[in-house]
A and B are shown apart, each in its own frame.
Chain A
C-alpha cells in the first residue's frame, strides 16, 4: 500500500519519472547531448537510491531483480545503435526510461491489477521502441507484438479472474492466506487459473506456447533494443512470478511450470540447432536458459531459488556481453542484420576473445561464471530429491545439444577467411566498454563467485 511516509522506497522510480520529465524539456530545446548524459545520470542515481534504501528482508529478492534491471539497462544504454536512432535520441531515451519505470513497478507489484497495468504500460513504450526506425519490418513486428501482448495479458487476466472468483482477492498475499486457511483445498480447482496465468506471463519470457515472437523480434528489431528485451522484462516478470508462485505453490504447480520449461527448452534446442544466424542463436539460447531458470523457479525450494537468482545475475551479464559483441560486429558492417561473423577472431582478436568468453560462458565452461552457475543450478535442482532426476536428465540432454548450437558460433569465429574480406572490426568506445565489463564480470564471477552465492542464499532464506 502506498503512503507518503515511506516515499524513500519509491525514490528510484520517482527519480526515473523525474528524468523523463527533464527529457521532455530537453526535447523542447533539442538538447541531444545532454539527454544522453541525463539518462545515464538518472539511471545511475536511481540505482544508487535503490541500493541505499532499506528494504524488508522478504522484499530482498525483488530488490535484487530491480538492481539487475537497472544495471542491465544502464549497460545497454551504452551500446550504440543505427544512425536513425541517433536522430531520435531524445525520443528513444524517453521511451527507454518509460519502459524501465514500468519494469521496476512490475517487479514490485503485489496484485494482479497492478501487474496487468504495468505490463501493458511497459508494452506501450516497447511498441514504439521497436518501430522507432520506421522500417516496414519493425512496424509489422510492433503490430505482432501488440496483438500477442494483449492476448497474453488477457490470458493472465482470465486466470486472475478465476482466482478472484475462488478467493475473492487480487493480492498475492491474500490469495495465499485464503488458500492456507481454507479447509477443503484441492489444487485441481486452481489448475486452470494457474495454467492461464503461466501462459500469460510466460509470453514475456518467451515460454513455449506464446513465445514465438522472440525470434522475429531478435532478428528484425535493432540489436540494442533486442538486447534490452532479452533481459530486462524477463527479470521483472521473474520477480513477479516468485511472488505469484509463492501464493499457490504445490507439487502440481511445480509440475506444470517444469512442463512448460521443458517444452520451451526443447523448442529452443530444435530451433537453434539448424539456425546459422547469430540472432537466432541468441534467441535459442534465451529459450534454453529460460527453461533452466523456470525449472529452478518451479521447484521453489530455498536452494533452487538461490541458484535461480545466481543464474540470473550471471546470465544477464553474459547475454549483454554477447549482444555487445554482435553489435560491434554489425557496427563495422554497416548494420546489416545478418552480419557475417566468419573469422571474427582474426578480424579483431580482443573483441573475438571477449565475445568468445561470453559465448563459452553461456555454454557453461570453466573459468567463466556460466560454469559455476551450471554446477550450482544442477546442485540446487538435484537437492530437491531423487524424484527430479528425469528432469535433470532431460536438462542434460538440452545442455549437450546446446553445446552444438554455441560451438557453431565458435567454429565460425575461428574460420579462416580470405585476406581481402578481412576488415578490422572497429566500434565506438562505449560499446567496447560494455563488452569488456561484461567479459570481466563473467571471468570474475567464474573465479570468485562466493560472495554472490552467499548473497543469493541469504536472500532466498526470506522468500
Chain B
C-alpha cells in the first residue's frame, strides 16, 4: 500500500465512479432503442452496484466478507437474469425481425393486440 498513486485513490473516488457508472447505465436503459444495448446498460448498473459494495467492503475491514458475498451472489444472479433477457431479445428478434424497441412497438400496434 505504499504506492503513491493508489494511496490517493480513496473509497470516496470509487463511490463517485460507481455512481457515474450507475447513472450512465440508467441513461442507457431509458434512452437506448436497441434491445441488446439496454441489456448492456443493465450490466453497467449492476457493475456499478458491485463496485460500490467492493469499495465499502475494503473500507469496512471487519465486515468485509458481507460485501464480497453479496458481490459474488449479485454477479451470478445478474448473469442468470441477463441470459434470460438475451433469450427474450432473441425471440423478439425472431418474431419481429428487428431489435429496435420503437419499431417493435409500432409493429405490434399494427398487427393488433393479442
Is any CB of A less than 8 Å from a CB of B in the complex?
A: yes
The verdict on A169 contacting B66 (CB below 8 Å), with A143-B85, A147-B85, A161-B52 known, is yes
Give the residue of B56, B69, B81, B105 whose beta carbon is less than 8 angstroms from that of A120. B81
Q: Which residue of B lies closest to A112 (CB)?
A: B70
Report chain B residues within 8 Å CB of A139: 88, 91-92, 95
B7 to chain A, nearest CB (A): 20
- Given A116-B74, A117-B77, A131-B88, check contact A137 B60 (CB 8 Å): no
State in angstroms the CA–CA spacing of A127 and B85 once bound together.
Answer: 9
- Interface membership of chain B positions 28-70, coded 1 if the CB is closer than 8 angstroms to chain A and 0 otherwise: 0100000100110010011011001100110110110011011
A120 to B77, CA, bound (A): 7
Complex: how many Å from CA A154 to CA B113?
A: 32
B54 to A, closest residue via Cβ: A161
User: For the complex, is A170 an interface residue (Cβ under 8 Å from B)?
Assistant: yes
Which A residues are CB-close (under 8 A) to B69?
Answer: 113
B24 within 8 A of A: no
Chain A residues positioned under 8 Å from B46 (CB to CB):
150, 154
Whole-angstrom distance between the alpha carbons of A147 and B77 in the complex?
Answer: 14
A116 to B38, CA, bound (A): 21
A168 at the interface (CB under 8 A from B): yes
Q: Which of B38, B77, B88 contacts A142 (CB 8 A)?
A: B88
Closest to A336 in B: B114
CA distance A165 to B56 in the complex (A): 5
A338 to B95, CA, bound (A): 24
Q: Which residues of B contact A368 (CB under 8 A)?
A: none
Asked whether B62 lies within 8 Å of A168 as measured between CB atoms, the reply is yes
A124 proximal to B (CB < 8 A): yes
Partner of B108, one of A131, A137, A158, A336: A137
User: How far, in Å, is A30 (CB) from chain B's closest CB?
Assistant: 25
A161: which of B56, B73, B113, B114 is its contact (CB, 8 Å)?
B56
Question: Count of B residues near A, CB < 8 Å?
Answer: 46
A59-77, CB < 8 A from B: none
A contact residues, total (Cβ < 8 Å): 36
A139–B91 CA distance with the chains assembled, in angstroms: 8
- When distances are taken between beta carbons in the complex, the residues of chain A under 8 Å from B89 are 143
Chain B neighbourhood of A190, CB < 8 A:
none
A164: CB under 8 A from chain B? yes
Q: A120-B77, A143-B92 are in contact. Are A170 and B66 (CB under 8 A)?
A: yes
B92:A140 contact, CB within 8 angstroms: yes
- The secondary-structure label for the interface of chain A is helix
In the bound complex, residues from chain A placing their C-beta under 8 Å from that of B84 are 124, 127, 146
> Is B111 an interface residue, CB under 8 A from the partner?
yes
Interchain CA distance A54-B73 in the complex, whole Å: 32
Closest to A116 in B: B74
Contact A150 B45 (CB under 8 A): yes
Distance, CA A318 to CA B84, complexed state (A): 34
- Report the Cα distance A120→B76, complex, angstroms: 11
Is A146 a contact of B59 with CB atoms below 8 Å?
no
Chain B residues, Cβ within 8 Å of A158: 22, 48-49, 52
Are A147 and B29 closer than 8 Å at their CB atoms?
Answer: yes
| CB of A167, distance to nearest CB on chain B (Å) | 9
From residue B14, how far is it (CB to closest CB) to chain A in Å? 11
Q: Which chain B positions have C-beta within 8 A of A131?
A: 88
Contact among A140, A147, A149, A161 for B104, CB-based, below 8 A:
A140
Q: Indicate if B78 sits at the interface (CB-CB under 8 A).
A: yes
Residue picked from A150, A165, A170, most chain B C-beta under 10 Å: A150
Q: Which of these, B45, B53, B60, B114, contacts A337 with CB under 8 Å?
A: B114
Contact with B along A150-190 (1 / 0, CB 8 A): 11001001101110110011100000000000000000000
Contact of B80 among A124, A136, A149, A151 (CB under 8 A): A124
Which of A157, A169, A220 has most chain B Cβ within 10 Å? Answer: A157
From the candidates B67, B77, B78, B95, name the one contacting A164 in the complex (CB within 8 A): B67
Closest to B67 in A: A164
Q: In the docked arrangement, what's the CA distance between A340 and B81, Å? A: 38
Report whether B70 and A170 are in contact in the complex, using a CB–CB cutoff of 8 Å: yes
A135 close to chain B: CB less than 8 A: yes
B66 to chain A, nearest CB (A): 6
Query: Top 5 closest A-B pairs, CB basis?
Result: A165-B56, A161-B52, A143-B88, A154-B45, A168-B63
Q: 9 A-B pairs, CB-CB below 8 angstroms?
A: A113-B69, A120-B77, A136-B96, A137-B108, A143-B35, A146-B88, A147-B85, A154-B22, A154-B48
**Sample of 10 further A-B pairs with CB below 8 A, known A113-B66, A147-B39, A165-B52:** A117-B73, A151-B45, A154-B22, A157-B70, A161-B52, A161-B53, A161-B67, A162-B52, A169-B63, A337-B114
